[in-house]
Structure 1
Amino acid sequence: MIYIYNDFAGTHSTALAAAYHLKQLPQSERKLTTEEILNVKFFNQLTNKDFGKLLFHGTDENGNSVYTIGRKRNKLVVPSLKEISLLLIEKFHINEKIIFSNTSPTVPLSMSFGGLFSRKLHIDFIGVPLLVTGAKQSCDTIYRLVQNTIEVGNSSFNEKVIILENEVYKV
């Protein structure tokens, strides 16, 4: 199975989701520490050149690959990736389920502004504290989203490619 967490920038909520999925963060809904947040792979480290790239984060305990992607505002990225995935599955007889999980609904306003200040305007002394505040506000929601994503992946759906919009996690 392949899990692909996606959102606008691919460097904050998606990075946290991938870290939860790979058990690199505590497996609970407790608030993360600043150090735990800032030590997450790719957290607040991506730039404009990284948009649209699938970034490999690792393999989970069941041998499933975990990726993230920043799609900007383009709502067609994930449906296009689904169509390409279905084509490859059919053409090459790939027996792999692919789960796209949208982490955008978990992003609080403080994380959005933090990303703007830090990644876009390069004002880290304002942006990073806002990002950490946002990550602390949303870490329990992101954790639950990841647990649900894994559950859906492990379920007996016959679909080969599944898109989870995760609106139920909207902050």
Structure 2
Amino acid sequence: MIVIYHDVGGCHSSATAANIHINKLPMNRTPSMEEIIALPTFDKIEKSDKGKLIYIGEDEFGAQVYTLARRRKANLVIPAISDLYRITTGSLKGFFLANTSPAVNNTMRIGGVSSRVFGLVSFGRP
């Protein structure tokens, strides 16, 4: 099974969701700022990583969990990845895509842009 958490930048909401999925962040409480910032991919994706699947880990059922920075091209990227999986396996069974963008509020958007575009990392952090 493969699970891909995707969003525009690939380094905030998708990284957080993927790490909750593999139990590197708690599900029973809000993680601390220190726990989130300590994640290997939180706010650390480089421009060269955009469009690449980033392996986050494996869950307790053996599913491989990835993140993807797809920019604003979900309508192109997601069908291509789905088609490739279907071509190589014969179906979409065991393939899950999770768009984390709907969970991003305006404060998070401003923080992400401040951090990734303008380099104001401390302003953009939780």
Please, what TM-score do these two structures have when normalized by structure 2? Answer: 0.92
**Partner secondary structure for residue 89 of structure 2:** helix
The aligned counterpart of 2:68 is 69
CA distance in structure 2 between the aligned counterparts of 1:15 and 1:121, rounded to whole angstroms: 20
The corresponding residue for 2:37 is: 38
The question of whether the paired residues in 1 share the 8 Å contact of 2:57 and 2:65 is answered with: yes
Separation in 2, partners of 1:121, 1:61: 38
* Deviations, residues 49-90 of structure 1 (Å, cap 9, x unaligned): 111000001111111100010100002111111111111113
What does residue 5 of structure 1 align with?
Answer: 5
Deviations 1:128-154 (A, max 9, x none): 2xxx1xxxxxxxxxxxxxxxxxxxxxx
Structure-2 separation of matches of 1:39 and 1:19: 11
Instruction: Give the Å deviation of 1:125.
Output: 2.9
Q: How does 1:9-158 map to 2 (within 5 A)?
A: 9-28=9-28, 30-75=29-74, 76-90=76-90, 97-128=94-125, 132=126
Distance 2:43 2:9 in 1: 9
**Cα contact 2:115–2:121 (8 A) shared by 1:** yes
For 1:6-64, what per-residue CA distance to the aligned partner results, in whole angstroms no more than 9, with x for missing partners? 00011000110111000111122x32211111112200001211110000011111111
Whole-Å separation in 1 of the counterparts to 2:59 and 2:30: 22
Q: Secondary structure at the match of 1:56?
A: strand
Separation in 2, partners of 1:31, 1:19: 13
The range that moved more, 30-39 or 52-61, is 30-39
Aligned-pair Cα RMSD in Å:
1.6
Calculate the TM-score normalised by the size of structure 1: 0.69
**How many residues get paired?**
125
> Which structure is higher in helix share?
1
CA positional deviation for 1:108: 1.2
Amino acid in the other structure paired with 1:11: C
Relative distance call for 1:67 and 1:87 in structure 2 (3 A) is same
Specify the SS of the correspondent of 1:73. Answer: coil
Return structure 1 stretches of 4+ with deviation > 4 angstroms. none
Q: Extract unaligned runs of 5+ from structure 2.
A: none
**Matched letter for residue 25 of structure 1:** L
User: Any stretches of 5+ residues in structure 1 without a counterpart?
Assistant: 133-171
Over alpha carbons, which structure has the higher Rg?
A: 1
